[in-house]
C-alpha cells in the first residue's frame, strides 16, 4: 500500500480569482503529489507566471504558488492506494509528460457557469486531471472528470485530510526547491497576447472539432467512460 496526495489550494492571482468567480468556490486549484514533501507535485498549470492561459501538465513547486514571496492556503489529503494503482497513476503522468501534446482546457473554465465542464481532446483543467488520476488510483467517481472543480475534492476526500493551512509553513525550507527559474521570467505584452490567442484558438479547435479524450492508461488506451 502506498499513499497518493491531493493538494487543494487558494492562490492570489487574477486568473485564480476568475476561476473562483466562475465556480463560486473558495479554492481554485488542485494538484496530485506522489510524495508527502510535494516534490513530485503535478497539475495543469501555467508555464510562466505572466502567461496564465499558456498552461499544460507541469511539475509544480511551492515557488509557483507563491512567486518566491507571499503564501497560499492549502488543504492536503492522503489517499491509501494499492501498489499497482499507484504505479499506474504515476506512469500515466509520465506518459502525458512525454507526449507533450496536452494543453489547458481553458474553454471548460470560461463556459463553466453554463456547461458545468466541457470535455476536449488532450485538454485538461487542474480538477479534470486530478479527478482522472484519482479514478486510475481506484477512487469511484460518479461524474465525468470535466465536471469536477477544486472544492469538490474537499468533499470527496473528507476524512483523509492531513494538513490545512499555510503552504509556506508546510514546506518550510523546501518552499523554493525544485522551482523552475523560467516561471518567473517576464514576457512582453506582445508575447503575452500572441501566446494567449494561440492557446484560445487551439483549445477552441480541440473543443469543437476533435473527439474528447480522457487520460491515457499505461498501455496507451484512453478511459472512454470518463466523458459521457
For residue 167, which of 68, 79, 90, 93 has the smallest C-alpha distance?
Answer: 68
Q: What pTM value is reported for the model?
A: 0.85
Mean pLDDT of the 135-142 span: 94
pLDDT at position 217, please?
Answer: 60
The whole-angstrom distance between residue 125's C-alpha and the CA centroid of its chain comes to: 6
pLDDT at position 209, please?
Answer: 75
Q: How far is residue 195's CA from residue 127's CA, in Å, rounded to a whole number?
A: 23
Q: Where are the beta strands (DSSP E) in the chain?
A: 2-10, 29-33, 41-46, 55-60, 73-81, 103-104, 123-124, 161-166
pLDDT tens for 196-225 read: 888 889 888 888 878 776 687 654 444 444
Please report, rounded to a whole number, the percentage of residues in the chain having pLDDT higher than 70. Answer: 88
Mean pLDDT of the 36-42 span: 93
CB distance 6 to 36 below 8 Å: no
Mean pLDDT taken over the chain: 84
Comparing 24-33, 121-130, 157-166, 178-187, the range with the smallest average pLDDT is 178-187
CATH topology of domain 2-226: endopeptidase fold (from Nostoc punctiforme) (3.90.1720)
pLDDT tens for 44-98 read: 988 777 777 778 899 988 777 876 557 889 999 999 999 999 999 999 999 999 9
Amino acid at each position: 500500500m502506498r499513499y497518493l496526495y491531493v493538494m487543494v489550494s487558494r492562490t492570489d492571482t487574477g486568473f485564480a480569482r476568475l476561476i473562483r468567480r466562475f465556480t463560486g468556490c473558495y479554492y481554485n486549484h488542485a494538484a496530485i503529489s506522489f510524495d508527502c514533501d510535494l516534490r513530485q507535485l503535478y497539475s495543469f498549470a501555467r508555464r510562466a507566471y505572466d502567461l496564465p492561459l499558456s498552461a499544460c501538465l507541469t511539475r509544480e513547486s511551492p515557488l509557483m504558488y507563491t512567486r518566491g514571496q507571499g503564501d497560499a492556503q492549502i488543504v492536503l489529503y492522503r489517499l491509501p492506494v494499492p501498489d499497482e494503482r499507484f504505479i499506474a497513476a504515476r506512469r500515466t503522468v509520465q506518459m502525458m509528460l512525454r507526449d507533450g501534446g496536452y494543453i489547458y482546457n481553458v474553454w471548460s473554465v470560461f463556459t463553466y457557469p453554463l456547461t458545468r465542464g466541457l470535455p476536449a481532446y488532450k485538454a485538461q483543467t487542474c480538477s479534470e486531471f486530478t479527478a482522472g488520476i484519482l479514478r486510475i488510483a481506484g477512487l469511484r467517481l460518479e461524474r465525468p472528470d470535466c465536471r469536477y472543480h477544486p472544492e469538490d475534492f474537499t468533499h470527496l476526500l473528507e476524512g483523509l485530510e492531513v494538513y490545512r493551512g499555510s503552504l509556506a509553513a508546510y514546506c518550510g525550507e523546501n518552499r523554493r526547491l525544485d522551482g523552475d527559474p523560467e516561471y518567473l521570467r517576464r514576457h512582453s505584452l506582445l508575447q503575452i497576447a500572441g501566446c494567449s490567442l494561440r492557446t484560445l484558438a487551439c483549445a477552441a479547435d480541440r473543443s469543437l472539432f476533435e473527439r474528447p479524450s480522457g487520460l491515457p492508461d499505461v498501455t496507451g488506451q484512453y478511459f472512454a467512460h470518463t466523458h459521457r
